Amino acid sequence: MAVLAPADWVDFGFLRDSIGTSDSALSKQLSALAGAGYVIVRKSQDKRARRTYARLTPQGREAFVRHAAALERIVLLARTVDEQPAAE
């Protein structure tokens, strides 16, 4: 999701290499995200090869923003706890 968030359409190979996974694992994850309505997958055929692209849906983008905000709150809480003086 983080790789898709700043982009429009992302090439399957670029996405696979960016997250360091296999074709089959990425395909399964994209299918699950598409099933949840978070991703659109588009396949095209050019003269040399079949290409697959993915992009976030508006619902997927919103879910990613909410998830990132939740992670930021967790990090902030962890930093706040670390800054508290030790109990004596």
Q: Picking from 5-19, 27-41, 74-88, which range would have the lowest pLDDT averaged per residue?
A: 74-88
**What pLDDT band is residue 10 in, cutting at 50, 70 and 90?**
very high
Total-model pTM: 0.79
Q: Is the pLDDT of residue 82 over 70?
A: no
CATH code for the structural domain at 10-83: 1.10.10.10
Span 34-70, pLDDT tens digits = 999 999 999 998 888 899 999 999 999 999 999 999 9
Helix (H) or strand (E) holding 3: none
Q: How far is residue 86's CA from residue 55's CA, in Å, rounded to a whole number? A: 47
Q: Is the pLDDT of residue 85 over 70?
A: no
Q: How far is residue 51's CA from residue 75's CA, in Å, rounded to a whole number? A: 38
E-state strands within 1-88: 10-11, 39-45, 50-56
